[in-house]
Structure 1
Amino acid sequence: MITEVKTKVYAGRLKDRASLLRSSSGGAFVALSDCFLDNGDAVVCAVYNYEDHATEFQLIENREERDKSIGSKYMQSKPGKIYKIAEDWLINHPEKRLLFVGMGCQADGFRKFAEMKGFRERVWIVDIICHGSPSPRLWKEYAESAEKKYGKITYLTFKDKRNGWKAPAAYVTAGGQEHLIKDYVKVFYNQCALRLSCYECPYATTERKTDMTIGDFWHIEETIPDFYDEKGNSIFLIHTDRGEQLFETVKVKLEYRLSDTKQCWQ
């Protein structure tokens, strides 16, 4: 039985500096997914498809596949048939566990599906703090336009931390060179192209029905200045007893600090 608890808040980041630098914030996703992949379990998460210029949910079973999913994606992810794929995987691997990581609406949808199908006890559900979701078509048209100018896009990042976590760079690599994508990012952050439903999101709250919520711990330099790291900081919101158990398992890989909802402005 899964029991909801009063939400606990932690600030944290990976001890492994190389993995921290590759992550968009403090490496929470890497720490959590390692916990499952290293034990032969599976992870469902969003991966960018460079052929279709779309972000799609995939079920992954090793670190090499997981590494392709690291990083923020500023577009809506396509679930496709991932719920059914996850269910079939659990049926075929009765002794294994599954981690699902997605936006609040996607994660709660999977939670309800898991409860309906009777496998909620075997999945851990983590949602990501979301800015809002623009149409996938907007990014696809932008990417295709960029390819006409520069050549085939072979790499994409919306939050490269070469200038630090607080000043991320967004660019694509195309034609062997880096090209900034500031105009798309400006549209995203100015909330010019978000789904109408995002403005009335029921998941924009600290109280959620997933096991855990992760994201950037913005303004940590002001609220917990002695714990701030310029290379990235994550927030962990723990919602269930199983979320607590999961955090207890992964915290050996983290530098972490107990916090509260007053300190996390996010």
Structure 2
Amino acid sequence: MVDLIDTIVYAGRLKDKSALMSSSSGGAFTALSNAFLKSGDAVVAAVYNYENHTVEFQMILDEKQRERAKGSKYMQSKPGDIYQEAYRWLMDNPKKELLFVGMGCQSDGFRKFSEIKGIRDRVHIVDIICHGSPSPKLWREYAESIQKKDGKITYLTFKDKRNGWKSPTAYVKVNGSERPLKDYVRVFYNRCALRPSCYECPYATTERKTDMTIGDFWHIEETIPNFYDSNGNSLFLIHTNRGEKLFEKIQSDLDYRLSNTIQCWQANLEAPTQKSEQREEFWNDYKKKGIDFVMKKYGSVPVKTKIKNKLLKIMGGIHRR
């Protein structure tokens, strides 16, 4: 029986420092997936496909597969027939359980599916705090444009933590060299390229019907300064009694601290991302002039802003002296 509870909030991160550094935030997904894979259960999550540059949901049955699912992905993922695949796996393995991890809309869809199919008591459903999903076609054409100029992409990350968790580095590896993705990341965050439904997302709240919500614990250095770690911090929002038991399963792998919805506040836990005033112009430019044009126009910092930032940096240095 799955019952909704008043949301419980935790800050947490992996004790394993190596695994923490290879995670986007505090390693919540690694801790959760470990709990299932070690006991022979299954995990469903999104994996990047380097052949066609799409993100696809897959059944994950071992840690090697799981490593491919780690990390933030700034493009829309395709569930495909994963709901049915997960159901068939559970029917073939009647003593096993399954962890499903996806965006709010995908995870709540699986929750409804699991209730209809009568498997809700055998699945644990986790969703991820979401800024919104850009067009998968946009990313695919962007990746293909890189490959046309530089060679095949063999590695992708949006949140490398070489400069710390608060200043992530996004890049792809091509022919052994790194190529930054600053232009694409700026387009992602300037809100031009998201799906229309993302601007009206009903899941941008702390109250959800999944078992647990995970994401970055932004502003933790201000709200829980004595628990902050520059290498990454995860947020756990527990919504059901099943989510409570799930968190108990992973506590031994974590350093964690009880928190609340005020300390963990962030924009996408209160409201959907707002539509950019430039959205129509962006898509008109894209249709007429293509991917390279919009990445240059909307993904680069204007010269005026660069000069302003440089002056602020200089002035800041003067004041510090």
Tell me by how many angstroms 1:149 deviates: 1.3
Measured in 1, the distance between the counterparts of 2:125 and 2:131 equals 19
Q: Report what 1:223 is aligned to.
A: 223
5 Å matches for 1:7-156?
7-156=7-156
Identity %: 71
Tell me by how many angstroms 1:157 deviates: 0.2
Amino acid at match of 1:27: G
Tell me by how many angstroms 1:53 deviates: 0.2
Partner-residue secondary structure (3-state), 1:68: helix
Q: Report what 2:279 is aligned to.
A: none
Measured in 2, the distance between the counterparts of 1:177 and 1:10 equals 38
Q: Which runs of 5+ in 1 are unaligned?
A: none
Q: How big is each residue's C-alpha offset from its partner over 1:192-229, in whole Å with a ceiling of 9 and x where there is no partner?
A: 10011111110000000000000000000000001000
Greater per-residue strand proportion:
1
Amino acid at match of 1:108: D
Measured in 1, the distance between the counterparts of 2:225 and 2:189 equals 26
Partner-residue secondary structure (3-state), 1:30: helix
Measured in 1, the distance between the counterparts of 2:76 and 2:44 equals 16
Partner-residue secondary structure (3-state), 1:170: strand
Measured in 1, the distance between the counterparts of 2:152 and 2:13 equals 34
Tell me by how many angstroms 1:129 deviates: 0.2
Tell me by how many angstroms 1:150 deviates: 1.1
Measured in 2, the distance between the counterparts of 1:86 and 1:94 equals 12
Q: Report what 1:254 is aligned to.
A: 254
Q: Report what 2:304 is aligned to.
A: none
Structure 1 residue ranges, 4+ long, deviating more than 6 angstroms after superposition? none
Amino acid at match of 1:116: I
Measured in 2, the distance between the counterparts of 1:248 and 1:60 equals 22
Q: Which has the higher contact order (CA 8 A, sep 6+)?
A: 1
Q: Report what 2:184 is aligned to.
A: 184
Equivalences, count: 266
Tell me by how many angstroms 1:234 deviates: 0.2
Larger Rg over CA atoms: 2
Greater per-residue helix proportion:
2
Measured in 1, the distance between the counterparts of 2:196 and 2:3 equals 33
